Amino acid sequence: MGCELCSEVGGELLWQGPLCRIVLVNEPGYPGFCRVIWRSHVREMTDLSEPEREFLMRTVFSVEAVLRELLQPHKINLASLGNIAPHLHWHVIPRFENDPHFPQPVWGQQQRDPQHETRADLGIKLAARLASMLG
């Protein structure tokens, strides 16, 4: 049985470096929902060396900063779960007061129908800002 995050990009590719990639996830009602995916197949943060962990978290924080700048959400949720896909990745999720689950977690009980449409140019803007931050 193969790993989905090893065999597929996992969304719209925004940035890729030698250690990880950033993708925009097409999740209705959640514009800017991104994942930072470690390129090699590891399960946990402690599988990485300390410099690799620091690099990964700097990348996650860069995604958070860009999303805050471009979308001005109410809050950003960061999560590293991987129960279904045991491949190290972080979810970076802008939250809005009228998103489908707010104030519940995005994996909780839906509170309302999706309201947000993802802007057609969002991926392009995110990719440009991430490239300027991460090289």
Domain that holds residue 31: 4-134
One-letter amino acid for residue 24 of the chain: L
Q: Which residue has the tokens 């001005």?
A: 72
Query: How far, CA to CA in Å, does 80 sit from each of 1, 37, 50, 84, 86?
Result: 22, 10, 17, 11, 10
CATH number of the domain at 69, please: 3.30.428.10
118, pLDDT greater than 80:
no
1, pLDDT greater than 70:
no
pTM, two decimals, is 0.92
78, pLDDT greater than 90:
yes
Residues 36-53 have a mean pLDDT of 96
How many structural domains are present in the chain? 1
